[in-house]
Amino acid sequence: MLFNDTEVPDNLIATTTQGERSMARLTDGWCIALDRNTMTCTIYEKRPWICREFEMGSYECIAARTDNL
């Protein structure tokens, strides 16, 4: 979920019919901002708050990556 303070480019944002905004995902579920060749965020300096709070290598991170393989 994205909040109003995001600097994420509009073309990387998905909006539900209820107006909720989140990072767009590719058809296979991976984040649209992830560069799969380097496994790095292409908008790292402008990444949303939730991504800043989501610690790389944490249980939640590993679970999310596993779910999207």
Residue-range domain boundaries for the chain? 10-67
Predicted model pTM: 0.71
| Position 13, amino acid | I
Give the pLDDT confidence of 44-61 residue by residue, as tens digits.
Answer: 999 888 888 777 778 877
Looking at residue 61, what is its pLDDT?
73
- In the prediction, which pLDDT does 62 show? 75
Query: pLDDT (tens digit, 9 = 90+) per residue, 2-35?
Result: 887 678 999 999 999 999 999 999 998 889 999 9
Spatial CA neighbour of 68 closest among 42, 44, 39, 48: 39
pLDDT of residue 17: 94
CA 35 to each of CA 5, 20, 32, 45, 54: distance values in angstroms, whole numbers, following the listed order: 24, 25, 8, 14, 17
Do 55 and 61 touch, CB atoms closer than 8 A?
A: yes
The reported pLDDT for the residue numbered 29 is 86
